[in-house]
Amino acid sequence: MPTPTEIKKTGPQELTVSWDDGHVSVFHTRYLRGECRCARCVNEITGLRILDPRTLVDDLTITGAEHVGRYGVKFMFSDRHDDGIYTWERLRELCQCEECRATNDRP
C-alpha cells in the first residue's frame, strides 16, 4: 500500500500529498472535510452521512495535521473539526486526479 512521503499545504485551501510510488494527489480542503467519516459526520450504524458538505464554508482551511500511528493522519480544520482520521488507504482513494478517477469509475 502506498504511503505518503510528504503532506504539505500548497495553497490557502489546497493540500498536496506526495506518495512513495511517485503519485501526487492534490486535495481541496473543503472536499477532504466533506469526506470525513468520524461519528459526528457519518452515522456509524447506518453509514449515512450526517454532515451536509454544502453547509461547509468555502474558505475552509487546514490549521494542523497530526500523524496517527503509521497508518494515517488527522487534520484539524478551521471549523474546529478534528475528529476524522484519514488512513493512507482512504486518502489515496479520495485522490481526484484523472488517473485515479478513471480507475475508481471502473466497474
Q: Which residues bind Zn ion (CB under 5 A)?
A: 36, 38, 40-41, 83-84, 95, 97, 100
Q: Which residue's CB is nearer to Zn ion, number 72 or number 84? A: 84
Q: Which residue's CB is nearer to Zn ion, number 9 or number 23? A: 23
Q: Which residue's CB is nearer to Zn ion, number 62 or number 95? A: 95
C-alpha cell at 87: 488512513
Q: Which residue's CB is nearer to Zn ion, number 76 or number 100? A: 100
Q: Least distance (Å) from Zn ion to the CB of residue 16?
A: 11
Residue written as grid cell 495553497:
11
Cα 14 to Cα 20: distance, rounded to the nearest angstrom: 20
Q: Least distance (Å) from Zn ion to the CB of residue 100?
A: 3
Q: Least distance (Å) from Zn ion to the CB of residue 42?
A: 7
The full DSSP string for 2-16 is: --EEEEEEEETTEEE
Q: Least distance (Å) from Zn ion to the CB of residue 70?
A: 22
Q: What is the dihedral of CA 75, 50, 42, 10, to 10 degrees?
A: -20
Cα 56 from chain centroid? 15
